[in-house]
């Protein structure tokens, strides 16, 4: 068998690049607006935070391009898509409001607060890198429907859902751009002059937004004024930040540990999603790469952990290879260094970017249902629900806690640790559907432990903040064991018949 030649770049990588770049750009628009709104000066945001993240993105994307090459050569095929790499949206918001805002409030010094953010980012990367030791074991023992279902909850609520809201902030612009995205990326139809759909949508949308005066033309001038030279410069300021983390801000570890574990789980889930789509990467290697990339980014001023990105599936759907990943890393570094990201964040309206991310949400949820057995669909749906609660909690509880509480007192505890809750309930239902009640009991016991130490259904780490959740999971575990040795035996034959029916359909 002749050795395949895996190309550095192909035409489909152009769409993949614009989709991934806009994913990262959308996050950095939110980062810039939010950090400046919190009280961080522009020279820290544009001169340190964004260049640091750009270094992490460069390192991660180059590494994943190399991983794609290894997989292509191993399996002797050229249709391998590199993993996408960027900042997780839920993690970004937690770092913004759980780390950076409190750090600035405590110190009153933006420079010191930034160093605390770097330290938190560095330690988060270290936790994820260490987690790679058990990555493959966890992936092997967690049901695919639970992993992908929990991830689809993120895609549905935070990526597709919220960005669909943003699409309608400028109805004419948003709907036109979304229509272009649906035609070009979902239906895979060619655009005029064979322009990549993502680029065509951005150009048309931006021109339309300014033509209709949905955006003040002064934003162009303001954006161009941010163009400058912001080179990524290594700093060991994070060491000073660590002294705060082990001192006045020790309580931040209650946030850092669970969110770092979340990042570890999200990487695993995204790798599993790509495996379901046909590209089976080593999850431990990916988790290690994410952790190391995050730590390198923090040394250059970054304050947000990076991870295998949910946009990987969207890139796979576009038939991208590895070129989109390499191009994204290079362009993102250049764009951050010369202030182009700062300018684009001012010039391109969010409703123009949003429909591209709606596509990412569509592709992730669709891929999940295409990747699991039909009988496991209910487990996917169940695993998605906690992130609906998490979305309501994170977006409205601080500003309208009474309204959320009146809607249901269960929203906040269900939303706390949503990734873990989705994995636990998704796994329980998969095992029930497969008549594996002992495994369902183990999953419920896992829920009891996670709830007991505050990783689920609690605002922070701590033993039995509200014991009723741990007790509930423990009672379920006992019930499953009882069911295994009583009622289940009477239904076992019926279950085998149903299993055979589903296998025939699958």
What tokens were used for 76? 């002797």
Q: Which of 55-59, 336-340, 499-503 has the lowest mean pLDDT?
A: 499-503
What's the rounded Cα separation, in Å, for the pair 328 and 24? Answer: 9
Interval 266-301: pLDDT, tens:
788 788 888 888 898 988 899 899 999 999 999 999
- DSSP per position, 79-132: ---PPPEEE-HHHHHHHIIIIIHHHHHHH--HHHHHHHHHHHHHHHHHHHHHHG
Q: Angle between the 350-371 and 253-277 helix axes, to the nearest 10 degrees?
A: 60
pLDDT at 1 over 70: no
DSSP state of 250: G
What's the rounded Cα separation, in Å, for the pair 255 and 235? Answer: 24
How much of the chain, in percent, has pLDDT values that exceed 70?
A: 92
> Quick check: 113 and 104 in contact, CB under 8 A?
yes
Interval 302-333: pLDDT, tens:
999 988 876 788 888 888 889 998 998 898 89
Picking from 49, 68, 20, 35, the residue whose alpha carbon sits closest to that of residue 312 is 20
Higher pLDDT, 360 or 339: 339
Place of tokens 């990105």: 309
Interval 41-58: pLDDT, tens:
988 999 999 999 999 989
> Quick check: 232 and 301 in contact, CB under 8 A?
yes
Higher pLDDT, 138 or 421: 421
Q: Which residue ranges make up each domain of the chain? A: 12-153+215-347, 400-500
On whether the pTM is more than 0.85, the answer is: no
What tokens were used for 408? 């249901």
Q: Which of 7-11, 360-364, 463-467 has the lowest mean pLDDT?
A: 360-364
What's the rounded Cα separation, in Å, for the pair 81 and 78? Answer: 9
Could you tell me the CA-to-CA distances from 78 to 65, 81, 303, 317, 382 in Å, in that order?
Answer: 13, 9, 36, 15, 36
pLDDT at 505 over 90: no
Q: Which of 58-67, 239-248, 288-297 has the lowest mean pLDDT?
A: 239-248
Interval 81-124: pLDDT, tens:
999 888 877 678 778 877 888 888 888 899 999 999 999 999 88
SS3 for 311-329 is: CHHHHHHCCCCCHHHHHHH
Picking from 328, 310, 286, 270, the residue whose alpha carbon sits closest to that of residue 61 is 328
Q: What is the pLDDT of residue 500?
A: 52
Interval 124-170: pLDDT, tens:
898 888 878 876 777 678 888 888 888 788 888 887 888 899 899 99
What tokens were used for 314? 């969207």
What's the rounded Cα separation, in Å, for the pair 280 and 254? Answer: 33
Q: What are phi and psi of 261, to 5 degrees?
A: -65, -40
The neighbouring-strand residues paired with 306 are: 87
Chain centre distance of CA 49: 19
């Amino acid at each position: 068998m002749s050795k395949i030649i895996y190309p550095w770049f192909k035409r489909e990588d152009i769409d993949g690049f614009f989709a991934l770049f806009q994913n990262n750009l959308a996050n950095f628009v939110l980062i810039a607006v939010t950090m400046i709104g919190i009280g961080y000066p522009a020279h820290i945001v544009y001169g340190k935070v964004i260049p640091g993240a750009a270094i992490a993105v460069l390192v991660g994307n180059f590494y994943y391009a190399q991983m794609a090459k290894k997989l292509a050569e191993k399996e002797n095929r050229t249709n391998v898509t590199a993993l996408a790499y960027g900042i997780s949206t839920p993690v970004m918001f937690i770092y913004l409001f759980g780390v950076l805002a409190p750090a600035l409030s405590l110190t009153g010094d933006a420079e010191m607060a930034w160093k605390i953010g770097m330290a938190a980012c560095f330690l988060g990367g270290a936790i994820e890198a260490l987690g790679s030791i058990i990555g493959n074991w966890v992936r092997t023992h967690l049901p695919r429907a639970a992993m992908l279902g929990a991830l689809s909850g993120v895609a549905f609520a935070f990526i597709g859902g919220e960005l669909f809201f943003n699409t309608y902030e400028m109805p004419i612009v948003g709907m036109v751009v979304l229509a272009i995205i649906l035609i070009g990326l979902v239906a895979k139809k060619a655009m005029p002059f064979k322009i990549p759909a993502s680029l065509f949508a951005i150009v048309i949308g931006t021109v339309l937004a300014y033509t209709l005066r949905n955006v003040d033309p002064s934003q162009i001038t303001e954006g161009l004024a941010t163009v400058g030279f912001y080179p990524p410069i290594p700093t060991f300021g994070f060491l000073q930040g660590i002294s705060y983390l082990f001192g006045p801000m020790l309580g931040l570890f209650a946030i850092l540990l669970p969110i770092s574990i979340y990042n570890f789980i999200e990487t695993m889930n995204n790798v599993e999603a790509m495996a379901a789509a046909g590209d089976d990467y080593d999850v431990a290697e990916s988790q290690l790469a994410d952790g190391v990339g995050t730590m390198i980014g923090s040394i250059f001023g970054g304050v947000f952990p990076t991870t295998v990105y949910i946009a990987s599936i969207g890139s796979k759907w576009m038939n991208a290879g590895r070129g989109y990943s390499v191009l994204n890393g290079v362009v993102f570094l250049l764009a951050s260094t010369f202030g182009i990201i700062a300018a684009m964040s001012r010039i391109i309206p969010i409703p123009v970017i949003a429909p591209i991310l709606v596509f990412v949400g569509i592709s992730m949820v669709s891929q999940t249902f295409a990747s699991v057995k039909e009988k496991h669909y209910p487990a996917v749906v169940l695993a998605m629900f906690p992130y609906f609660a998490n979305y309501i909690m994170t977006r409205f509880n601080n500003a309208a806690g009474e309204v959320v509480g009146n809607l249901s007192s269960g929203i906040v505890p269900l939303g706390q640790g949503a990734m873990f809750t989705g994995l636990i309930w998704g796994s329980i239902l998969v095992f029930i559907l497969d008549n594996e009640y002992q495994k369902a009991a183990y999953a419920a016991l896992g829920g009891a432990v996670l709830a007991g130490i505050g990783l689920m259904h609690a605002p922070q780490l701590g033993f039995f903040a509200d014991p009723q959740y741990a007790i509930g999971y423990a009672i379920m575990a006992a019930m499953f064991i009882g069911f295994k040795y009583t009622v289940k035996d009477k239904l076992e034959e019926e279950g085998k018949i149903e299993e055979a029916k589903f296998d025939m359909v699958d």
